[in-house]
Amino acid sequence: MVDKEEIRRRNPIEDVVARFVTLRGSGKSLTGKCPFHDDSRASFVVWPDIGYFRCYAGSCGVEGDVFTFVELMYKVDFREACRILGGEQDARPLPKLTKRPPKVESGPMLSELGPKERQALGLAHRVYHSRLMSMRANSKPRRYLAERCLTVDDVRRFGIGYCTGKDLLPAASFAGVSIPTLQTVGLVVETPEGGWREWLAHRVILPDRDPKGVSYLMGRALSPRATLKYLGLKGVTKPIMGLDSADPKRVTVVLEGIFCAYSLRRRGLQTLAVMGTALRGARAQQLQPFGNIIFVPQNDEPDEDGVRAGDQAVDVWCQEVGKGRVVRLPESIKDVNDLDQAGGLDDWLRTWATWLYRDRS
Ligand SMILES: [Zn+2]
């Protein structure tokens, strides 16, 4: 059994990344040019305190921990990444890179994990969901979801939860789910004092499902000071949300964010949310079984070079997915959930109704 936390301690993410990328800045976040795409700006951010990295370029979007970084850099699996990082205990240099780094995220997917890990994830989901359902309507998480246009019925139907950071460990102990299992699925991390803390603490929990049950959890921060607005399970590859429960024969709308997906799902549409990860390579391939797909990119402000992430995402869509249709939102609207909040979503959908609801007739 690999001691992931020990390897993490010996390999601070900023040191490992700095072997490949010149990082600038100090304190909470460091930035540099992304090594996984042709980056003209510093789109790549590293957060030493949580041991995480992410590329903010719309066409790339890689993210993960130190293991993910090594897996992507060397195009190796998790086991080999451990070996590479384990070899660093004498501060020997990392082995020389022989191939060009790939541009597609890889890493363990939860569906490859066994029944024990499934059970841990199902338990966490039940704990987080029942916690949210027991909270008052004027509590912060419930108010946040209402602002995002979700009713109590939606919260129940989509299985949304809230992680206080205090509920999971006692529940796991009671249910006989071990801490190493919780750690394998990225639900808990070791603290510097040798205790355990919940990885998704103080976040609204947004689940993904497949036919076997809950298959992934995303955490949305409520605090504006949070390092990352969205955080997935630690060390687990982020799926395309909705993919494993989707019917490829139905009309399917592909969106960036999960709240955009909820806005359409509650209107009876089938959706997939890519959650900030570019649709390249294997991820784009996963969309091939879908016959009728529509991509709705976000509208965002151009950066200092005049580049919009939404436009880049459309280019990637055309190159990598190469089918379906792209539908743009009105210029002044950021995304579908924004339009929902502004009260204009139903009118906008009506203009696409013959396409969107063609599987209903
Ligand atoms: Zn990148």
Both structure tokens of 212: 């076997």
Q: How many helices (H) and strands (E) does the chain have?
A: 15, 14
CB-neighbour burial class of residue 239 (10 A; exposed 0-12, middle 13-18, buried 19+): buried
pLDDT score of 112: 67
Q: Is the pLDDT of residue 236 over 90?
A: no
Vertex 341 angle, CA 326 and 63, to 5°: 60
Instruction: State the distance from the centre of ligand 1 to the C-alpha of 6, rounded, in angstroms.
Output: 28
Domains and CATH numbers, the chain: 4-86 (3.90.580.10), 115-232 (3.90.980.10), 243-356 (3.40.1360.10)
User: In the beta sheet, which residues pair with residue 231?
Assistant: 219
Instruction: State the distance from the centre of ligand 1 to the C-alpha of 64, rounded, in angstroms.
Output: 12
Instruction: State the distance from the centre of ligand 1 to the C-alpha of 35, rounded, in angstroms.
Output: 6
The span from the CA of 70 to the CA of 82, in Å, is: 9
Average pLDDT on 222-234 reads: 84
Instruction: State the distance from the centre of ligand 1 to the C-alpha of 178, rounded, in angstroms.
Output: 36
User: In the beta sheet, which residues pair with residue 161?
Assistant: 205
Kindly report, residue by residue over 296-305, the tens digit of the pLDDT. 999 888 777 7
Q: Are 218 and 208 within 8 A, CB to CB?
A: yes
Instruction: State the distance from the centre of ligand 1 to the C-alpha of 43, rounded, in angstroms.
Output: 6
Q: Can you say how many angstroms the Cα of residue 57 is from the centroid of all Cα atoms in its chain? A: 15
Instruction: State the distance from the centre of ligand 1 to the C-alpha of 58, rounded, in angstroms.
Output: 8
pLDDT score of 87: 53
Instruction: State the distance from the centre of ligand 1 to the C-alpha of 62, rounded, in angstroms.
Output: 6
The span from the CA of 133 to the CA of 127, in Å, is: 10
pLDDT score of 352: 81
Average pLDDT on 217-234 reads: 87
Instruction: State the distance from the centre of ligand 1 to the C-alpha of 168, rounded, in angstroms.
Output: 34
Instruction: State the distance from the centre of ligand 1 to the C-alpha of 55, rounded, in angstroms.
Output: 5
Query: Does residue 302 or residue 45 have the better pLDDT?
Result: 45
Kindly report, residue by residue over 151-166, the tens digit of the pLDDT. 999 999 999 999 999 9
Average pLDDT on 268-279 reads: 88
Q: Is the pLDDT of residue 91 over 80?
A: no
Instruction: State the distance from the centre of ligand 1 to the C-alpha of 220, rounded, in angstroms.
Output: 22
Q: Are 208 and 244 within 8 A, CB to CB?
A: yes
Mean confidence (pLDDT) of the chain: 86
Instruction: State the distance from the centre of ligand 1 to the C-alpha of 51, rounded, in angstroms.
Output: 17
Q: Is the pLDDT of residue 198 over 80?
A: yes
